[in-house]
A and B are shown apart, each in its own frame.
Chain A
């Protein structure tokens, strides 16, 4: 009885999401979140079908496994079969189910124990599927729960149909960096404080990833590990296939020098050097840097090139710091709350520059922020909660920096 009420309430919430939220992306991800929460599940994903390639891609997924870059051929695997046939599948007990041959989650750090996969049934075709994996209390899915999923899927499908959605996977992206089961512990008092509890994340080349999360969720620690500023306790970090899980201090420095560009919240420019010199300072570190003056030009500061940091505004300093980050042509640029100390207008200036370097220079940027508005600019939005990846969302249509409002 109680369960029924809960399900009814969830259905209402899903309807609200789908009908009242403007952005379809947000509506779908919100619905998935409601259902994953209601069914007390570990992970979930909404797969959409790209009709051009006839492949399925997870537009949005929740849970510790990063399956962003996985596509599934229509008709293959559970997701493919459900989409192809338009029929729901419930794997009640994966361990003892002979039909089950594993799922994409199994390859990405999550062992499937029980699963529901329901089709997104448009009026005309099946456009994808909704997938829920593993109950947190260890119990198995039942038919009631399958029904809730199907209800949610049909509501979603109607909404998609109404609002129109074109799924374009584009080219498959090349992986730059991979984190697998990364944990980080800090000694605290007598015991240890586990800040990261098993992070699985891929970062693709020429991608703009935004990491969202509340204070203390572990997002900065994660970024420090990716940036080679801190050692991970367990797990692996590979960059371009090279293992950087347990490097020496010197290797880590070399890694930062050759792979990473940093943009800090408080700019951290050298006060004794002019804008141009601050950029040269870093350019001299690497073998094949960009021309420092060019880098300054790219952030639109050629006229202030000979000013000292003390003579510039915060936004300008942050732009110098971006020029400093791009000048050595790093594989990955990490930005830690780069606009936190800036007002709206200057923030937009800075974000425009970031957008520019991703879209035009082909840079890869991973930005940590607590401002959800900025997430709209991103190719993917990673939410971190309590030391784990809570969800990863692909933005089908990232907006331009100038369009952001807060």
Chain B
């Protein structure tokens, strides 16, 4: 571009600054939201990765069904690529302070791997101390200095946990296993390794945490990381079979020894055992020992159960056996049975997890992925509106400068030289807008989003980041888009000869249509339609801008309705119970409930893990399906009818079916109580909005695990009972564990609700900016362009009101069209966002929201009115002398 041409181009920008600014703003909005969201997603992963590295979070975790020996650990340590290995002891328990119970996992403190972040206090120094996770501190209100009175073991590994001594809480921590606060997981209570009887365990441990060499060098959410971990994981897989074989043989040998001892004891004491008081204790000792042998070995559940039953029977005898001979024979049979079972013992198994074996880690991937899908949706909206704004602005300007362009053309400028001026205009505005957008994304939106997301994670999410790749792509895309829109806007002009440009533009349309024929519309209306036709491009852009504005509002309110609708649906059409009561033994509880007039349905309610692609945590409800349905609707998601009770499979939630593409007949694996694993078949899919419940009949459970589940909960409907009074009475009833109101699940929606509320505000602001800048610009263009026409109208005696009426009639048409388009566009985009925001345990109401349509229309109309009132004030001040 020549010097003076550049001067002209720059001064043109200065003169058209409102248009220039509107391109900048639309580019800025688009880039800010797009990159702001993108950066946030990247920052979430980066910050998470950094936090994981700081805590030296394990890359791989190995859990064995037969415990891990120190030799196992040595073998893993010796593998290429393994940097460090550390053993962890763990068991499940219920911890009590008074009658307050917390379901926890007791886990030993580590020295090198999986270091916790200290939030308050210090780590336990000896067996009398423990640290709790932040979530326990928050939910139960337990704090440093409190004493946990006792811990009730709920897992077979509990046998290695030493004793009933109370713990003093000395610290509150964040454990890297539970980085995501929204994932419902059993919290840890961290104790000194001394609390586990490592001698009894022969130095075996429950878990091995492994750090892989070089893994810390890369972001944990990258493919490179996955590959690094996968190499080592592969090696561990390879040695696992051999290690398990050794371990199984070792266990078997030990078990056989014990069985032999028992047999010897039985044989030696046979004479004495038939009579005397000692018999009971001796037999009991043998049975307990046998139970322990069986309990230590996975897959011997049936044996354990029958042994337990037998033990209870012996225990029930007072001091002497009634029928000692029979008992003795039964014991012998059982020992023999045990020996048989040992021969057919299922081989042990190592569960080897990489990062994806951790629910929080997966949640982070999903969370940042959700943000990215929002990002894509936004880009769609802004690409559309942005391109149109650039196109409209440039073509408007070119139309205004038609004669000027014709002149320069006549004077011998090449098309490219003329094009350069408009390219400079549009491109510089786009690039400026993009650059400001990058800054705004990095320094305003990203910190804002990260702060919002900070509530979901235990680590500090607030360190912002900039991703170079997407930034460059956005810059490039902005340039391509702008060049495209400008070329499109200039195309016709470039093709038109100079003289044609220097002449007055003629309105488009059929020649001669002005005369004759029957007229359906008045001249006035026809004039307005004709104006629209002549100026179609500006009109289209006005419509699209109004649509964009309306769409943003519709999106905002649809999201709000989606969240609120889900809550409403869940509690009106799914949940028909008022509370859930958990208990250790239920007879007295049931009596108490009946007495108060509340209805109740007993069921077995347990957290399970299920494995489809990754290991996930869910909740299993077992019982009489028909009874459960009276409290907790299980309606088929397709037919909306109640699902027929069945013993042929498990019922799953619609959300789970969607995420993992399951349907009736699909199969997956569940693990109950950490040990019992079975393959289940999907028998039905029910409509639900919250949680990750699965339901099966006790019969199906028995067919899977060989034994019906023992109920541990009631779903209760209060009817006329006074809730507070009932609660107080239940607390005093023996066997009572907890009382949870059904509405407590609502908390899961709280985070979504607050996010959605800020989105609604954000979108209304965006819509206001868009309307403020783009629509104002367009209306302004309209008035400027029609100035002469309007002046002539005024001169000829039209009142200001009539002239304004003439101007607004078009606005009314464009606004209506914009609203219709905006509602369609907004509903479509809102649906996509709703789907993207849904998580594994939350489904939103996906239906369209007429209320959102109403708000969208009303607010758009309001904006339009404000803008028109401001811009059309000019009509009042038109100088009638300007007509000359």
Residues of chain A touching chain B, judged by Cβ–Cβ distance below 8 Å, are 189, 224, 227, 229-230, 250, 253-258, 260, 262, 264, 266, 268, 270-273, 277, 280-282, 284-285, 324
Q: Which residue of A lies closest to B511 (CB)?
A: A189
Contact residues in B for A257 (Cβ distance below 8 Å): 411-414
Contact residues in B for A266 (Cβ distance below 8 Å): 403
Contact of B8 with A by CB under 8 A: yes
Contact of B573 with A by CB under 8 A: no
Contact residues in A for B412 (Cβ distance below 8 Å): 253-258, 260, 285
Contact of B410 with A by CB under 8 A: yes
Choose one: B12, B502, B511; the contact of A268 (CB below 8 Å): B502
Taking a contact as CB atoms under 8 Å apart, the answer to whether A253 and B8 are in contact is no
**Which residues of chain B from 368 to 415 have any CB-CB distance to chain A below 8 Å in the complex?**
403-404, 406-415
Q: Which residue of A lies closest to B403 (CB)?
A: A268
Taking a contact as CB atoms under 8 Å apart, the answer to whether A273 and B498 are in contact is no
Contact residues in B for A254 (Cβ distance below 8 Å): 412
Q: Which residue of B lies closest to A258 (CB)?
A: B412
Chain B binding surface SS class: helix
A-B contact pairs, 17 of them (CB 8 A): A189-B511, A229-B497, A253-B409, A253-B415, A255-B412, A256-B410, A256-B412, A257-B411, A257-B412, A264-B407, A264-B502, A268-B502, A273-B4, A273-B11, A277-B4, A281-B8, A282-B411
Taking a contact as CB atoms under 8 Å apart, the answer to whether A268 and B4 are in contact is no
Taking a contact as CB atoms under 8 Å apart, the answer to whether A284 and B410 are in contact is no
Contact of B675 with A by CB under 8 A: no
Contact residues in A for B5 (Cβ distance below 8 Å): 281, 284
With A224-B499, A230-B497, A253-B409 in contact, do A270 and B8 touch (Cβ < 8 Å)? yes
Taking a contact as CB atoms under 8 Å apart, the answer to whether B413 and A270 are in contact is no
Taking a contact as CB atoms under 8 Å apart, the answer to whether A284 and B11 are in contact is no
Contact residues in A for B2 (Cβ distance below 8 Å): 281, 284-285
Taking a contact as CB atoms under 8 Å apart, the answer to whether B404 and A281 are in contact is no
- B6-34 contact mask (Cβ, 8 Å, vs A): 1 or 0: 01100110010000000000000000000
Residues of chain B touching chain A, judged by Cβ–Cβ distance below 8 Å, are 2-5, 7-8, 11-12, 15, 403-404, 406-415, 497-499, 502, 511
Q: Which residue of B lies closest to A328 (CB)?
A: B412
Bound Cα distance A250, B412 (Å): 10
Bound Cα distance A270, B413 (Å): 13
B399 nearest CB across to chain A (Å): 16
Taking a contact as CB atoms under 8 Å apart, the answer to whether B499 and A229 are in contact is yes
With A227-B410, A230-B499, A257-B412 in contact, do A272 and B8 touch (Cβ < 8 Å)? yes
Instruction: Indicate the member of A254, A266, A270 with the most B CB atoms within 10 Å.
Output: A270
Q: Which residue of A lies closest to B498 (CB)?
A: A229
Contact residues in A for B415 (Cβ distance below 8 Å): 253
Taking a contact as CB atoms under 8 Å apart, the answer to whether A262 and B11 are in contact is no
Taking a contact as CB atoms under 8 Å apart, the answer to whether B3 and A284 are in contact is yes
B410 nearest CB across to chain A (Å): 5
Contact residues in A for B411 (Cβ distance below 8 Å): 256-257, 262, 282, 285, 324
B83 nearest CB across to chain A (Å): 68
- Beyond A264-B502, A281-B8, 20 additional contacts (C-beta under 8 Å) are A189-B511, A229-B497, A229-B499, A230-B497, A230-B499, A253-B412, A255-B412, A257-B411, A257-B413, A264-B407, A268-B407, A270-B404, A271-B15, A271-B404, A272-B7, A272-B12, A273-B7, A273-B11, A284-B2, A284-B3
Choose one: B4, B12, B403, B410; the contact of A280 (CB below 8 Å): B4
Contact residues in B for A229 (Cβ distance below 8 Å): 410, 497-499
Q: Which residue of B lies closest to A272 (CB)?
A: B11
Contact residues in A for B410 (Cβ distance below 8 Å): 227, 229, 256, 262, 264
Contact residues in A for B499 (Cβ distance below 8 Å): 224, 229-230
Contact residues in B for A272 (Cβ distance below 8 Å): 7-8, 11-12, 15
Bound Cα distance A250, B497 (Å): 12
Contact residues in B for A324 (Cβ distance below 8 Å): 411
Contact residues in B for A262 (Cβ distance below 8 Å): 407, 410-411
A287 nearest CB across to chain B (Å): 13
Q: Which residue of B lies closest to A286 (CB)?
A: B412
Q: Which residue of B lies closest to A279 (CB)?
A: B4
B502 nearest CB across to chain A (Å): 7
Bound Cα distance A253, B7 (Å): 22
Contact residues in A for B502 (Cβ distance below 8 Å): 264, 268
Bound Cα distance A270, B497 (Å): 19
Taking a contact as CB atoms under 8 Å apart, the answer to whether B414 and A250 are in contact is yes
B408 nearest CB across to chain A (Å): 8
Bound Cα distance A262, B499 (Å): 12
Bound Cα distance A253, B414 (Å): 6
With A229-B410, A285-B412 in contact, do A277 and B7 touch (Cβ < 8 Å)? yes
Q: Which residue of A lies closest to B501 (CB)?
A: A229
Q: Which residue of A lies closest to B408 (CB)?
A: A270
Taking a contact as CB atoms under 8 Å apart, the answer to whether A253 and B413 are in contact is yes
Bound Cα distance A229, B409 (Å): 9
Contact residues in A for B413 (Cβ distance below 8 Å): 253, 257, 285
Taking a contact as CB atoms under 8 Å apart, the answer to whether B498 and A268 are in contact is no
Taking a contact as CB atoms under 8 Å apart, the answer to whether A268 and B409 are in contact is no
Q: Which residue of B lies closest to A321 (CB)?
A: B407
Instruction: Indicate the member of B407, B408, B413 with the most A CB atoms within 10 Å.
Output: B407
Bound Cα distance A230, B415 (Å): 16
Q: Which residue of A lies closest to B407 (CB)?
A: A268
Contact residues in B for A227 (Cβ distance below 8 Å): 410
Q: Which residue of B lies closest to A224 (CB)?
A: B499
Taking a contact as CB atoms under 8 Å apart, the answer to whether A273 and B403 are in contact is no
Q: Which residue of A lies closest to B1 (CB)?
A: A284
Bound Cα distance A196, B597 (Å): 106
Contact residues in A for B511 (Cβ distance below 8 Å): 189
Bound Cα distance A256, B8 (Å): 21
Bound Cα distance A255, B412 (Å): 7
Instruction: Indicate the member of B411, B413, B414, B502 with the most A CB atoms within 10 Å.
Output: B411
Contact residues in B for A280 (Cβ distance below 8 Å): 3-4
Bound Cα distance A284, B413 (Å): 11
A280 nearest CB across to chain B (Å): 4
A257 nearest CB across to chain B (Å): 3
Bound Cα distance A189, B511 (Å): 9
Contact residues in A for B497 (Cβ distance below 8 Å): 229-230
Contact residues in B for A273 (Cβ distance below 8 Å): 4, 7-8, 11
Bound Cα distance A264, B412 (Å): 14
Taking a contact as CB atoms under 8 Å apart, the answer to whether A268 and B7 are in contact is no
Q: Which residue of B lies closest to A268 (CB)?
A: B407
Bound Cα distance A281, B407 (Å): 12
Contact residues in B for A281 (Cβ distance below 8 Å): 2, 4-5, 8
Taking a contact as CB atoms under 8 Å apart, the answer to whether A268 and B414 are in contact is no
Q: Which residue of B lies closest to A281 (CB)?
A: B4
Bound Cα distance A253, B404 (Å): 16
Bound Cα distance A257, B412 (Å): 4
Contact residues in A for B407 (Cβ distance below 8 Å): 262, 264, 268, 270
A265 nearest CB across to chain B (Å): 10
Bound Cα distance A256, B413 (Å): 8
Q: Which residue of B lies closest to A273 (CB)?
A: B8
Taking a contact as CB atoms under 8 Å apart, the answer to whether A268 and B11 are in contact is no
Contact residues in A for B409 (Cβ distance below 8 Å): 253
Bound Cα distance A50, B407 (Å): 44
Bound Cα distance A254, B417 (Å): 12
Contact residues in B for A224 (Cβ distance below 8 Å): 499
Q: A-B pairs with the 5 shortest C-beta distances?
A: A257-B412, A272-B11, A256-B412, A268-B407, A284-B2
Taking a contact as CB atoms under 8 Å apart, the answer to whether B4 and A284 are in contact is yes
Bound Cα distance A268, B409 (Å): 12
Instruction: Indicate the member of A264, A271, A272 with the most B CB atoms within 10 Å.
Output: A272
Q: Which residue of B lies closest to A262 (CB)?
A: B410
Instruction: Indicate the member of B403, B413, B415 with the most A CB atoms within 10 Å.
Output: B413
B515 nearest CB across to chain A (Å): 14
Contact residues in B for A264 (Cβ distance below 8 Å): 407, 410, 502
Contact residues in B for A260 (Cβ distance below 8 Å): 412
Contact residues in A for B403 (Cβ distance below 8 Å): 266, 268
Bound Cα distance A282, B7 (Å): 13
B597 nearest CB across to chain A (Å): 86
Bound Cα distance A266, B407 (Å): 10
Contact residues in A for B404 (Cβ distance below 8 Å): 268, 270-271
